[in-house]
Amino acid sequence: MPGMRIAITGGSGFVGRAATADLQQAGHSVVQLVRQQPVPGGDVHWDPATGAIDATALGHVDAVLHLAGENVAGGRWSTARKRRIQDSRGPATERLCTALAALPRPPRVLVSASATGIYGDRGDDELDERSQPGTGFLADVARAWEAGTRPARDAGLRVVQLRLGMVLDPSGGALRKMLPPFRLGLGGRLGSGRQWTSWITLADLLRVIRFVLAPGELSGPVLAVAPEPVTNAQFTAALGRALGRPAFLPVPEFALRLLFGEMADALLLASQRCRPQELLQAGFRFEQPAIGPALQRLLAR
């Protein structure tokens, strides 16, 4: 794939930082869309509240990677935090896409983050991109998030809605938070442990991002998860083995709800058993498809 000029929102986040470095290493030019007023010749100003973009400073870009959004795991869900989560996804995405569509030379492709939370709590149901959205706060947020890309689709951009599962890397995200108690031998399943977790290593996610940004036919919802989801009990056992520590201290559901409130049911206890059918059919091959070897490799670094 020849070098492209790619604009990124959310470039300061866990995935955004890694994606920026990975795309630059692959020979692409990366432009950060940032909220604050940047220095001339550097990043490009983008206001999520209005959708305004400094089109002159931006110039022409071949692609946009949209990762920005309020951290859903950043604290208990107060009314104000839930409003910020909602506003930073559906409405902000729609404003961004409207601005992109109005550029003198719109980009060819938009890859916009979404989440497996769109399916809600689905128990043992096997889910793929054709499965219907579920119910609940995160499902509603993700549905609006994906609907916000409509102005870009209407303007002729190829739009990929990348439904992210739990992204695994010791440098950040959920795994970084789990490591301290598990290293002390204080880890264990959450609740019953029967809930399914759809996950992907950060390294495989970066490969997925490059794959969907490249010229091709993929569009619409694309699950960015490994092909082998695991139950929470399987995941915590594999993490304990990778660290050489016991993982026999379950956290009861009532304790999770006491600590995290509504967020516990939506993020920690909800079950999504997803298979990335679109990526597999398009010929993408995962380097780390199984949780045991993936965690062993991540934690041996």
Instruction: Give the model confidence (pLDDT) of 282-301 as tens digits.
Output: 999 999 999 999 999 999 96
How far from 93 is each of 29, 85, 131, 154, 259, CA to CA, in Å? 23, 12, 23, 14, 31
> Would you state the pLDDT for residue 1?
61
Share of the chain above pLDDT 70, in %: 98
> Would you state the pLDDT for residue 244?
96
The whole-angstrom distance between residue 241's C-alpha and the CA centroid of its chain comes to: 26
**Which CATH code of 3.40.50.1380, 2.60.15.10, 3.40.50.720, 3.40.1160.10 fits the domain covering 5-168+200-225+273-286?**
3.40.50.720
The C-alpha angle 192, 298, 168, rounded to 5 degrees, equals: 50
Here the tokens at position 110 are 């938009």
- Kindly report, residue by residue over 26-41, the tens digit of the pLDDT: 999 999 999 887 766 6
Cα(289)–Cα(169) distance, rounded to whole angstroms?
14
- Kindly report, residue by residue over 51-109, the tens digit of the pLDDT: 889 998 899 999 999 999 999 998 899 999 999 999 999 999 999 999 999 999 999 99
Domain layout of the chain by residue ranges:
5-168+200-225+273-286
- Kindly report, residue by residue over 161-208, the tens digit of the pLDDT: 999 999 999 999 999 999 999 999 999 999 999 999 999 999 999 999
Furthest C-alpha separation in the chain: 59
